[in-house]
């Protein structure tokens, strides 16, 4: 107790004071501490007013700002090449805050045909319900993008670095130039790549978002999102986060920061194993096609070479098998190593059938338009040994072929009595 404090006699008063007293620390911690507190005390009323009004001036309430979550936003900004960054409660929260900081009723968004299902739903149902016009275009076709932007005033051109789940690539330099030529803001979801593989801000993007649940966190134990860009744009995004409550907790921010420590090592391993598995899958019977940007057979391999870190194309691939939906489900059910879960970017390999999971909201016609075929499987390659994954996929593909052969076999005629 300080000599300046009155002598406290009541047990409850002394307990509250004693358990809230922060120890003096003269040494710098080597990990960002978890500031697990909802409130911060100020020295006087003027200071409280300043920090409550401006999250950059200090800390008052963790919905507004918290040192651990601030550290994550700052770290992501540095990795992504932005002036500033902000951490939010989820990837979808990050996408919402980024778009809501830019859009008003009557504005227009041009977005990819091939896009994450929940992003599509947010654009059409949430923003569309507020009077925002949303038009889709094949963002791999630059002429089509230019025509779409010229068709009507556009506030946002939205893209994914690596499309979910088709692995089609966005040419950021070209798309940013088109967006800016037509007065639009270029916003990019970089989740499938991570800043280790690609940094859209350095290629002309205005805002970049990621689900930090995925490669940044990397261990399937946290839900978080991040946004980076100029200081002015991130100030706008932060205001949306504060007012809508998409607040990331300090423990979750700590877990993502811990994941970032090993991001480079993990993504190198993800990419190396993904490249090996993709090459192996191309040679397997029953596999119609494999989509992995690091393969020379990928339709945009040259763009991957120009835009990605040399020799690193990420850990996401897709492949189509004979037999359509039934064969796709048969492969997933036969796999032993991958986790049966709808996520990605983890130490665990994860395989999903997009038509029945991540893109289940789409009709058959919309699936066909986006390039999602009935037998398409999306693979988030984990950190298991390549040889074990090849053996497991080999067995699963064999089971699917046997199932397809049995389905095609003629039914024996039954003799009449």
Cα 178 to Cα 397: distance, rounded to the nearest angstrom: 43
Sign of CA dihedral 44, 45, 46, 52: positive
Q: What pLDDT band is residue 341 in, cutting at 50, 70 and 90?
A: confident
Q: What is the CATH number of the domain that holds 152?
A: 3.40.640.10
- For the question of residue 76 being annotated catalytic, the response is no
Closest to 207 in 3D by CA, of 222, 225, 190: 190
- The tokens for 101 are 């900081």
Residue 286 has pLDDT above 90, yes or no: yes
Check whether residue 178 and residue 297 sit in a common domain: no
Check residue 13 and give its pLDDT. Answer: 87
Domain tally for the chain? 2
Token look-up 């949303």 returns: 134
Q: What pLDDT band is residue 6 in, cutting at 50, 70 and 90?
A: low
Cα 47 to Cα 49: distance, rounded to the nearest angstrom: 5
Catalytic residue (choose from 107, 189, 206, 392): 189
Check whether residue 340 and residue 234 sit in a common domain: no
Check whether residue 238 and residue 164 sit in a common domain: yes
Tell me what the mean pLDDT of segment 26-49 comes to: 93
pLDDT, tens digit, for every residue of 181-224? 999 999 999 999 999 999 999 999 999 999 999 999 999 999 99
Instruction: For 241-255, give one letter per residue: b (16+ CB within 10 A) or e.
Output: bbeeebbbbbebbbb
Check residue 417 and give its pLDDT. Answer: 46
Residues 6+ away with beta carbon under 8 Å from 300: 140, 168, 169, 293
Check whether residue 113 and residue 208 sit in a common domain: yes
Tell me what the mean pLDDT of segment 268-292 comes to: 97
- Helix axis angle for 386-408 and 263-282, nearest 10°, is 40
Average pLDDT, the chain: 92
Check residue 8 and give its pLDDT. Answer: 65
Q: What is the CATH number of the domain that holds 362?
A: 3.90.1150.10
Check whether residue 270 and residue 203 sit in a common domain: no
Catalytic residue (choose from 108, 120, 199, 214): 214
Catalytic residue (choose from 50, 61, 63, 369): 63
Check residue 403 and give its pLDDT. Answer: 72
Tell me what the mean pLDDT of segment 75-81 comes to: 98
- For the question of residue 63 being annotated catalytic, the response is yes
**What pTM did the predictor assign?**
0.92
Check residue 224 and give its pLDDT. Answer: 98
Distances (CA, A) of 377 to 154, 355, 402: 34, 9, 18
pLDDT, tens digit, for every residue of 372-404? 888 899 999 999 999 999 999 999 999 988 877
Catalytic residue (choose from 35, 116, 158, 186): 116
56 falls within a domain: no
pLDDT, tens digit, for every residue of 151-173? 999 999 999 999 999 999 999 99
């Amino acid at each position: 107790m300080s000599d300046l404090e009155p002598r406290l006699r009541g047990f409850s008063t002394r307990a509250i004071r004693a358990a809230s007293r922060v120890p003096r620390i003269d040494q710098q911690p080597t990990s960002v501490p978890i500031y697990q507190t909802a409130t911060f005390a100020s020295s006087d009323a003027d200071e409280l007013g300043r920090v409550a009004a401006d999250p950059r001036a200090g800390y008052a309430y963790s919905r507004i700002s918290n040192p651990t979550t601030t550290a994550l936003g700052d770290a992501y900004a540095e990795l992504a090449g932005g002036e500033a960054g902000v951490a939010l409660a989820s990837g979808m929260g990050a996408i919402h805050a980024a778009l809501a900081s830019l859009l008003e009723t009557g504005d227009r968004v041009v977005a990819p045909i091939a896009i994450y299902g929940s992003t599509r739903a947010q654009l059409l149902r949430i923003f569309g319900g507020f009077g925002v016009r949303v038009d889709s275009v094949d963002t791999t076709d630059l002429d089509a993008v230019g025509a779409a932007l010229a068709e009507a005033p556009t506030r946002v051109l939205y893209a994914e670095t690596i499309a979910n789940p088709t692995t089609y690539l966005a040419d950021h330099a070209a798309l940013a130039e088109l967006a800016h030529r037509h007065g639009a803001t270029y916003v990019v979801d970089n989740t499938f790549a991570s800043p280790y593989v690609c940094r859209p801000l350095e290629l002309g993007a205005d805002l970049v978002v990621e689900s930090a649940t995925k490669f940044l966190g990397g261990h399937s134990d946290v839900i978080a999102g991040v946004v980076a860009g100029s200081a002015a744009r991130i100030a706008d995004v932060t205001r949306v986060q504060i007012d809508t409550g998409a607040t990331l907790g300090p423990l979750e921010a700590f877990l993502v920061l811990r994941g970032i420590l090993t991001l480079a090592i993990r993504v190198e391993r993800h990419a190396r194993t993904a490249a090996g598995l993709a090459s192996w899958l191309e040679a397997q019977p029953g596999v119609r096609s494999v989509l992995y940007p690091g393969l020379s057979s990928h339709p945009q391999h040259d763009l991957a070479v120009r835009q990605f870190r040399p020799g690193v194309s990420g850990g996401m691939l897709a492949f189509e098998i004979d037999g359509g939906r039934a064969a796709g489900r048969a492969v997933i059910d036969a796999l032993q190593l991958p986790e049966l879960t709808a996520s990605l970017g983890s130490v665990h390999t994860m395989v999903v059938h997009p038509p029945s999971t991540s893109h289940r909201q789409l009709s058959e016609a919309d699936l066909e338009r986006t390039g999602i075929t009935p037998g398409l499987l999306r693979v988030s390659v984990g950190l298991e040994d390549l040889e074990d994954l090849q053996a497991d996929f080999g067995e699963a593909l064999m089971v699917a072929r046997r199932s397809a052969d049995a389905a095609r076999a003629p039914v024996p005629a039954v003799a009449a009595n």
